[in-house]
Structure 1
């Protein structure tokens, strides 16, 4: 039987997952080292609230994509430790999502910073 929904339990699960990402995923740790200073810098940029929120959103999108990537990799590894073409495709596609989110963030930040300073 499916457990009854509980806001506090579900929030606890999400925070446990976030803590697992911080403790166990090297890529997530590296991204945080880059994203946290960028978030702080964004507060000092002379941009509108909408642009500021957009700059923050694209950074969070990287972290979201990394969480999804890690969950897909964990599920594939749970299913099989052997090399399999479909397992490789699943992992590569999840990794591509992270790559594209990073490209998006870099593009948005470059566009905003270029518009501000040039």
Structure 2
């Protein structure tokens, strides 16, 4: 079996990444909601009269939430693929993925409150 290297590997990897984004958008309501939040908040951050560093601080956690939602969705898909019966470790893995998104959402709220309202 020949390994893909160089430009071909990069192009294939980009295709797989786009497939992952499409899959996440199609099957994960939470991702669609977070994308809507990003579509609203990122332009707001761009028009606010804040420093460049503050703008970066406003936008970064929004993107982090989306990244973690993709990872959480991947964890859930793998756990569901392994088996549908209830398993304590599987439930823990899903809960931890969800907790990561929750913490990132809290971080986003905190940063926005600190920069915009305080």
Q: TM-score, normalised by structure 2?
A: 0.92
Q: How does 1:33-44 map to 2 (within 5 A)?
A: 33-44=36-47
SS in 2 for 1:12: helix
Q: 1:19: how far off? A: 1.0
SS in 2 for 1:43: helix
Q: How many residues align?
A: 115
1:80: which partner in 2?
83
Cα deviation, 1:51-102, whole Å, max 9, x if unaligned, reads: 1112111100000010010000000000010001011000000100000000
Question: Which residue matches 1:92?
Answer: 95
CA distance in 1, matches of 2:56, 2:76: 30
Residue 31 (structure 1) shift: 1.0
Other-structure match for 2:23: 20
Please list every run of 5 or more consecutive structure 2 residues that lacks an aligned counterpart in the other structure. Answer: none
| Corresponding residue SS for 2:47 | coil
Shift in Å, 1:4? 2.2
Q: CA deviation digits over 1:17-38, x for unaligned, max 9?
A: 0111111110001111112110
Residues in 2 aligned to 1:21 and 1:2: alpha-carbon distance in whole angstroms: 30
The list of structure 1 runs, each at least 4 consecutive aligned residues, that deviate by more than 6 angstroms after superposition, is: none
TM-score by length of 1: 0.92
